[in-house]
Structure 1
Amino acid sequence: MSRFNAVVKNVRPRTLLVSPLSYCVGVAVADHRFDLVVLLGVLFHILAPLAANAHNAVTDLVEDGKNVPGRLKLVETAGARLLQRVLYASLGIMLLLSLMISFAQTLLWVFSVFLVLGYSSPRLRLKGRPIIGMAVFSMAVTEPYIAGSLLGDSWWEVPQYDSYQPVVLGMFLFCWYFAKGIMKNVPDYTGDKAAGLRTIPALLPSQLAGAWVAATATSLVYAAFPVLVLLADMPDRLVYVGVMVLPAVANMTSMVRARTPVEYNRVGQRDMYVSVVFLGLLLFGVQPSAGTALIGLVAVAVMAGADLSGTDSRVSHHVAQADSAVGVPGGGERNR
């Protein structure tokens, strides 16, 4: 049971929601009914970040030793081999699901494998490249959105669009999550710098400078959404989603005021709520219905449940640990 709990905490259930929500936004844009095929797609896009988290837990041991010391013990308890089995089992199930969904999703499975493995693998280590790393990170919402928007009525079919609006929305989601990626790397400033990762915050002279860059980028991208709605002639009801600029800016204000690892970590935890609510409101705005409203509410409830039960490897007490006696499973320092 302790191994199972450690695996669950390492795959981080609270972070598995933005991808399926973005997929549902794409499905709504395609005006596809929410049927069994969509449910399979939702499962596919839950497994993708789950696989990525299992992989990252094994590959990011050096920086996690400084950023999230408690995670090393969780990896040790779960076992690196078991986490790798979770990774490959997830990718295999994703392939089967994609073959049942559509030809387009099957092609995107190949792309998803590259993203999952390439982001933190010792060989490619894309997360350590400032622009490419954030572009790959942004695919966590952009690829699901594309997959949903390409869902047709048959295995081979893709929808035909007579407007550029779906492309504009996809580009916005890419930029939105790019900004989130910058924010996500601010709490990891010390460990990333020590591990030689060239993330955008790690290239700056201080963690505070990284916080200001992340806060500026995040505030601008949220503020830009209602302007984008008006300029791209999207449905007027989507403007109300811009209300999320208020909690986003408030949270970024906390980021520039943060000074301790726990404070930075709490900002990141709150940001995930802002992100999930934003996508939930966007989904409801694209296709207002009781079903889409329920999807958003369930996503928030799942994340809140994960937080209340402590099933995450970045809970505050794991970040606050400074027990240098916790070793790296497998021994030694991995290749970077």
Structure 2
Amino acid sequence: MSRSARFNAVVQLLRPRTLLVSPLSYCVGIAVADHRFDFVVVLGVVFHILVPLVANAHNAVTDLVEDAKNVPGRLQLVETAGEALLGRIVYVGLSIMSLLALAISFAQSVVWLASIFLLLGYSAPRFRLKGRPIIGMAVFSMAVTEPYIAGALLSDSWWRIPRYGSWWPLALGIFLFCWYFAKGIMKNVPDYAGDRAAGLRTIPALMSSQRAAAWAAATATTVVYLTFPVLVMVTDIPDRLVCAGLMALPAVANMASMVRARTLVEYNRVGQRDMYVSVVFLALLLFGLRPSAGTAALGLGAVAVMVWSDVSGRDSRASRHLTGPDRR
């Protein structure tokens, strides 16, 4: 096996297009805390890129049963990359994150200790939290909630945490949790058949059909996006953040495509488009909280990484990996 083939397989399994929501959410928390963008923040961004990266490496090894039906091509990628190498990526990544957490702040260290179990337990055979309808989605939501909390708790002192004179940062954090909870429902719709066959009790897998699951995901997504402008109006969230509510339009249009979808490829494309919507939504939140060329560049850079990943096919959920007679 050539080194280039192995490297390419690893990159696809680490899924660069999925590594962006966590650092963006972290930066949103940083902006809420009104903390300057310094070296410690850079360490936090690296930390929150590594979290989904390690999760993707771990899930690639633990999800072989359902992937055999949902994404058969991913099994070939795991074989090419090697389970041993993916395991080393997990343990090295966890070690680096532990050191980064200690360097960033006491609050980040505490949050990280609580998050290790969730990261590994989400798909680990012993706990398999992803197979529990509500708990699984709650853990999935931590992909944006934990970074937001970590950013919002950052101060100039390693020990102290900021004090807030308003409850709107808490309201925004609760919204982000609900927002990504709905995304988690949508994310599992394409995997309906494989998850049911593997005995995973995700929310979509409990539905009577994949179409019913698509309707549930579409409803949850529509409600949560339409709630955001209302939240801005009834809380002290800065009014300019209402611009992020414009993402309700492409989000709802994409959900309309989901309820019309019939093949795995069509469902998968809905999920791919939804990640663009999610990244732009977070980028608009960040820019609304701290309008600057730097925050605009962060958002544009995140979108550019996604475009590169999709154009180059550097993703283990690319359509070519959805093989099978009914997956054209």
Asked if structure 2 preserves the Cα contact closer than 8 Å seen for 1:186 and 1:210, the reply is: yes
Does residue 50 of structure 2 align to residue 36 of structure 1?
no
**Equivalent in the alignment of 1:294:** 297
- Measure the CA separation in 1 of the matches of 2:297 and 2:324: 38
Deviations 1:248-299, CA, capped at 9 Å, x for gaps: 0000000000000100000000000000000000101111111111111111
- Over aligned residue pairs, what C-alpha RMSD do you find? 1.0
**Equivalent in the alignment of 1:327:** none
**Equivalent in the alignment of 2:126:** 123
C-alpha displacement at 1:217, in angstroms? 0.3
Which deviates further from its counterpart, 300-309 or 58-67?
A: 300-309
Which deviates further from its counterpart, 192-201 or 233-242?
A: 233-242
- Measure the CA separation in 2 of the matches of 1:307 and 1:177: 22
Identity value in percent: 75
- Measure the CA separation in 2 of the matches of 1:320 and 1:271: 22
Pairing partner for 2:223 from 220, 223, 233: 220
Q: Normalising by the residue count of structure 2, what TM-score does the alignment of the two structures yield?
A: 0.97
Pairing partner for 2:319 from 316, 321, 336: 316
Pairing partner for 1:111 from 105, 114, 124: 114
**Equivalent in the alignment of 1:59:** 62
Q: What code does the residue aligned with 1:299 have?
A: A
Does residue 19 of structure 2 align to residue 16 of structure 1?
yes
Does residue 208 of structure 2 align to residue 205 of structure 1?
yes
Does residue 140 of structure 2 align to residue 137 of structure 1?
yes
Does residue 80 of structure 2 align to residue 77 of structure 1?
yes
Which deviates further from its counterpart, 102-111 or 65-74?
A: 102-111
- Measure the CA separation in 1 of the matches of 2:82 and 2:111: 30
C-alpha displacement at 1:183, in angstroms? 0.1
- Give the secondary structure class of the aligned counterpart of 2:126: coil
**Equivalent in the alignment of 2:247:** 244
- Measure the CA separation in 1 of the matches of 2:303 and 2:153: 26
Asked if structure 2 preserves the Cα contact closer than 8 Å seen for 1:19 and 1:45, the reply is: yes
Asked if structure 2 preserves the Cα contact closer than 8 Å seen for 1:12 and 1:312, the reply is: yes
- Measure the CA separation in 1 of the matches of 2:160 and 2:298: 26
Which deviates further from its counterpart, 141-150 or 299-308?
A: 299-308
**Gapped regions of structure 1 (runs ≥ 5):** 324-336
**Gapped regions of structure 2 (runs ≥ 5):** none
After the TM superposition, which residues 135-214 of structure 1 pair with which residues of structure 2 at under 5 Å, given as runs?
A: 135-214=138-217
Pairing partner for 2:233 from 230, 235, 240: 230
Q: What code does the residue aligned with 2:294 have?
A: G
- Measure the CA separation in 1 of the matches of 2:48 and 2:115: 10
Asked if structure 1 preserves the Cα contact closer than 8 Å seen for 2:196 and 2:205, the reply is: yes
Asked if structure 1 preserves the Cα contact closer than 8 Å seen for 2:166 and 2:236, the reply is: no
- Measure the CA separation in 2 of the matches of 1:320 and 1:238: 42
- Measure the CA separation in 2 of the matches of 1:177 and 1:128: 17
- Give the secondary structure class of the aligned counterpart of 1:223: helix
- Measure the CA separation in 2 of the matches of 1:212 and 1:322: 25
C-alpha displacement at 1:321, in angstroms? 4.3
Asked if structure 2 preserves the Cα contact closer than 8 Å seen for 1:134 and 1:178, the reply is: yes
Asked if structure 2 preserves the Cα contact closer than 8 Å seen for 1:10 and 1:74, the reply is: yes
Q: What code does the residue aligned with 1:245 have?
A: A
Tell me the matched-pair count. Answer: 323
C-alpha displacement at 1:93, in angstroms? 0.4
C-alpha displacement at 1:200, in angstroms? 0.3
- Measure the CA separation in 2 of the matches of 1:197 and 1:231: 39
- Measure the CA separation in 2 of the matches of 1:320 and 1:14: 21
**Equivalent in the alignment of 2:281:** 278
C-alpha displacement at 1:112, in angstroms? 2.2
- Measure the CA separation in 2 of the matches of 1:320 and 1:255: 20
- Measure the CA separation in 2 of the matches of 1:300 and 1:35: 23
Q: What code does the residue aligned with 2:129 have?
A: L
- Give the secondary structure class of the aligned counterpart of 2:61: helix
Does residue 98 of structure 2 align to residue 95 of structure 1?
yes
Q: What code does the residue aligned with 2:18 have?
A: T
